[in-house]
Amino acid sequence: MFRFEIITCYNLSMPVFVKDANKCVGCLICMFACGRAHLATGLESSCIKVRSQGGISRGFSVFVCRGCEDPPCARVCPEDALVVRKGGGVLLKEDKCTGCGHCVKACILDAIGWNNGKNKPVICIQCGECAKSCHYKVLEYKRT
Amino acid sequence: MIKEDTLKKVLYIDLSKKKFWIEERDDLFSQFIGGTGVAIKLLHENCKYDTDPLSSDNPIIISIGPLNGLFPIASKTVALFKSPHTGNLGESHAGGRSAIAIRMAGYGAIVIKGKSERPCYIAIHGDRVYFKDATTLWGLEEGVSAASLIRRQESGAGLRTIMRIGPAGEKMITYACVTLETYRHFGRLGLGAVFGSKNLKAVVVSGKRDLKVNDFKGYKECYSNLLKQLAESDKMKKYHELGTPANVMPLSFSKGIPMKNLTISELEGLENISGESFAEKHLGRRVACSHCPVACIHLGALRKPYEDEPYFYRTVYLSYDYELIYALGTMLGVASPEGVLRLIEVVEDMGLDAISTGVVLAWSTEAFEKGLINEKMTEGVIPQWGDVDAYSQLINKIVFSEGEFFKDLGKGIDYASSKYGGKEFALTYGKNEMPGYHTGYGAHIGYLFGARHSHLDSAGYAIDKEAMIKSFDEEQFAEKIITEEYWRQILSSLVICFFGREIYTPQIILQCLKLTGFDLDEKRLTEIGKEIYAEKYRFKIKCGFDVDNIELPQRIFELPSGTGKLNKDFAEKIIGKLKEKIKSLL
């Protein structure tokens, strides 16, 4: 109950945000950390993405869930498989998900991953493991 | 190996028949781990010893190991082939996104055989393999990049590798490289020419998957420990901060960095091309290979004016490293960072191995000074120490000129010096040009007997560093050189970047291997390393490499090294010991 109040008071969202993508070296350590946070090894169960901005000399962009308070991904889900989380972001009810992929298209940040093996989205769990693993402080994790 | 691990899959691609197939080789991977260990076995299987390196029969073996995709700094890919530069074992390692892309695509090795009728590139996206036309990508003019065109055509952005050749590879210069992700290379021994001989412009690989480990909790602990060490350990500091150019000043103090074809030990203005100076004035960005937090790739920004258009500039980013500052800087008497960066740009545009190119130009400069070659042969360009414009033109001519002299230079200085003279100052080892360490016996004899004639075979400079404070006899030198090379076979079978070698101790490697389903002990690991090295030597010797008929360049005995003037008789004694050790392995 107490926790709920804090959340409403401080309007917590964006537990992870991209602080300075210019410092990104493209090592992908955050992507592997995201995979481990989803209890996997590798990149199939990772939702954060790092891509070069048209060639490595131009640097990198990082695509990570900002934990929207009114998330479009949840709104477009025809099966109600994405439940809005208290404090931002969504939770995936895997048994309800049919793998239609609407959520991926609805996310303008491109922050939803796709697990081809399961044919289901990979959703950010707002754990901040990506930010914690980044040596270069590209990402910041804020949770009070 | 874990039963479900896709590492055991070897993808065969036949460019002549445009066919591909997969073979599962648990036998090879469980015995030789992966990377260089598996690749040398595949090379024995797929390459006849008398194969012409530039014929369709020369296979390209690209391989990775069990630690790739699972542990940080296990970020390297190994390529084996018969080298068009030396006529025997060709081996080159590269990072970029390659190792992770191949692992994620679900393979442990890729074997490319045959020759395409027309220029083509191969796109491997997971289990799908496409043969794509590359006639439009062949012979591209300056300013158009094949890689950027391929990027637009192919999927897998962010996770793919694009290995491609430049004009030097297309023209089969025997020291042409293969470039990956703009800044990394299969640099040495001419893989680019082998690509060219197959009409193969590029190989794209992408994929995405989860891998298996034996104990997830144990894996996470092991991973965090490694990540912490890679971030915080002093052992990695050098690569983090100034990068490999941190070595320029220390090696110049000890006279270990070769200058002007090893004719002098001091270069005016050297401090301008130190790691410190590059970082201060030119470092524009740092980037990393996939799954490596170190980010040792230092990109220098070079601002270039347009000569015909005032107030128009372009800024290019070029990756500088110690070896490039040596080969295109000190070796050529170029002591300005802009000069070094300009030469790096030409070498990158051409797709050449920077070390060989620098040493070829250095030999040419001395040969010109001594009158062995003349202005007519060089088509009016006079090679002169420090003359960046002349060197840029010469590099272009090595690739594009039809003149006989440049055709010869395109085969390296072992070849050129046997035709024009100047063997005594041709700095080659087993036909491969010298890396940037004139530090002592360890370095030079390491290059001579290393399986790929590279400083990376046995890191002899590190042995020389030890020899500065301890005295070693011939047996100790020989033993240190060969033991280090055995151990490096393991690192490059896993495949860990050598920069992480001090973090990846045998104990940590055994722990990582256990998590990936390899139950080995340290003794067995050492034996495997030795066996891989022996397999490489068997290949070399069957291709005609003669351990009794190779020698050190005369020049190295003339100029004091980092550990003083080298004594030829003592060098011979070490060589004698090494030969015995190698012969006893076979």
CA dihedral B155, B157, B161, B167 (to 10 degrees): 80
Contacts of B157 in chain A (CB under 8 A): 51-52
Contacts of B151 in chain A (CB under 8 A): 54-55
Mutate to test the interface with B, among A20, A25, A34, A61 (most CBs of B within 10 A): A25
B239, with CB counted inside 10 A (0-12, 13-18, 19+), is: buried
pLDDT of residue B141: 78
How far off is chain A from B512, nearest CA to CA, in Å?
13
pLDDT of residue A10: 42
pLDDT of residue A9: 38
Report mean pLDDT in 10-residue bins for chain B, 586 residues.
96 98 98 98 98 98 98 98 98 98 98 98 98 96 85 94 97 98 97 98 97 97 96 86 95 96 97 97 96 96 92 95 98 98 97 98 98 97 98 98 98 98 98 98 98 96 95 97 98 97 97 97 97 98 96 97 96 97 95
pLDDT of residue A54: 82
CA A109 – CA A64 distance, rounded (Å): 7
Per CATH, which fold does B6-206 belong to?
A: Aldehyde Ferredoxin Oxidoreductase;  A, domain 1 (3.60.9)
Q: In whole numbers, what is the pLDDT of chain A averaged over residues?
A: 89
Instruction: Map out the domains of chain B as residue ranges.
Output: 6-206, 241-400, 432-585
Residue B402: count other Cβ atoms within 10 Å of its Cβ: 7
Q: Which one of B212, B216, B227 has the shortest CB-CB distance to A133?
A: B227
Per CATH, which fold does B432-585 belong to?
A: 1.10.599
Q: Which of B67, B54, B131, B60 is nearest to B92 (CA)?
A: B60
How far off is chain A from B586, nearest CA to CA, in Å?
40
Q: Which two tokens stand for residue B503?
A: 């973090």
**Radius of gyration in angstroms for the set of CA atoms belonging to chain A, rounded to a whole number:** 15
Contacts of B231 in chain A (CB under 8 A): 135
Contacts of A117 in chain B (CB under 8 A): 209-210
B107, with CB counted inside 10 A (0-12, 13-18, 19+), is: buried
Query: SS3 for B12-45, per residue?
Result: EEECCCCEEEEEECHHHHHHHCCHHHHHHHHHHH
Q: Which two tokens stand for residue A112?
A: 């939803």
Mutate to test the interface with B, among A20, A24, A29 (most CBs of B within 10 A): A29
Q: Which two tokens stand for residue B91?
A: 């081996």
What 3-state DSSP class applies to B188?
coil
Q: Which residue of chain A comes nearest to B73, CA vs CA?
A: A27
Identity of residue B95? G
How far off is chain A from B498, nearest CA to CA, in Å?
17
How far off is chain B from A56, nearest CA to CA, in Å?
7
Kindly provide the ipTM of the predicted complex, given to two decimals: 0.95
Mutate to test the interface with B, among A43, A115, A122 (most CBs of B within 10 A): A43
Residues in A whose CB is inside 8 Å of some CB of B read 25-29, 32, 35-36, 39-45, 49-52, 54-57, 59, 116-117, 133, 135-136
CA A120 – CA B165 distance, rounded (Å): 38
All residues at 6 or more sequence positions from B372 whose CB lies less than 8 Å from its CB, including other chains: B420, B421, B422
B409, with CB counted inside 10 A (0-12, 13-18, 19+), is: buried
How far off is chain A from B175, nearest CA to CA, in Å?
25
B479, with CB counted inside 10 A (0-12, 13-18, 19+), is: middle
pLDDT tens for A7-22 read 333 445 568 889 999 9
All residues at 6 or more sequence positions from B38 whose CB lies less than 8 Å from its CB, including other chains: B25, B28, B29, B32, B63, B65, B108, B109, B493
pLDDT greater than 70 at residue A108:
yes
How far off is chain A from B63, nearest CA to CA, in Å?
18
Q: Which one of B209, B285, B292 has the shortest CB-CB distance to A42?
A: B209
CA B238 – CA B275 distance, rounded (Å): 10
CA B49 – CA B542 distance, rounded (Å): 6
Say yes or no for a CB contact (<8 Å) between A42 and B231: no
Tokens 């063997």 belong to residue: B423
Q: Which one of A41, A56, A133 has the shortest CB-CB distance to B181?
A: A56
Largest Cα separation within chain A, whole Å, is 49
A109-130: string of b/e by CB count within 10 Å (b at 16+)?
eebbbbbeeeebbbbbbbbbbb
Contacts of B208 in chain A (CB under 8 A): 42-44, 116
Mutate to test the interface with A, among B160, B287, B318, B349 (most CBs of A within 10 A): B287
CA B192 – CA B168 distance, rounded (Å): 7
Say yes or no for a CB contact (<8 Å) between A55 and B148: yes
For strands B428-429 and B161-164, give the pairing: unpaired
* Domain with residues B241-400, CATH architecture: Orthogonal Bundle (1.10)
Containing B58, the helix (H) or strand (E) segment is: none
pLDDT greater than 60 at residue A144:
no
Q: Which residue of chain A comes nearest to B290, CA vs CA?
A: A27
Structural contact between residues B328 and B357, judged by C-beta atoms closer than 8 angstroms: yes
CA B267 – CA B259 distance, rounded (Å): 7
The strand ranges marked E within chain A are: 16-18, 41-42, 49-52, 60-63, 82-84, 90-92, 113-115, 120-122, 139-141
Cis peptide before B287, with omega less than 30 degrees from 0? Answer: no
pLDDT of residue B215: 96
Q: What are phi and psi of B392, to 5 degrees?
A: -60, -45
DSSP B267-298: -TTGGGGSHHHHHHHTEEEEE--TT-SS--EE
Alpha carbon of residue B341 to chain centroid:
19
What value does the mean pLDDT take over residues A47-55?
A: 92
CATH code, A2-141: 3.30.70.20
How far off is chain A from B454, nearest CA to CA, in Å?
27
pLDDT greater than 50 at residue A2:
no
Q: Which residue of chain A comes nearest to B231, CA vs CA?
A: A135
CA A115 – CA B5 distance, rounded (Å): 18
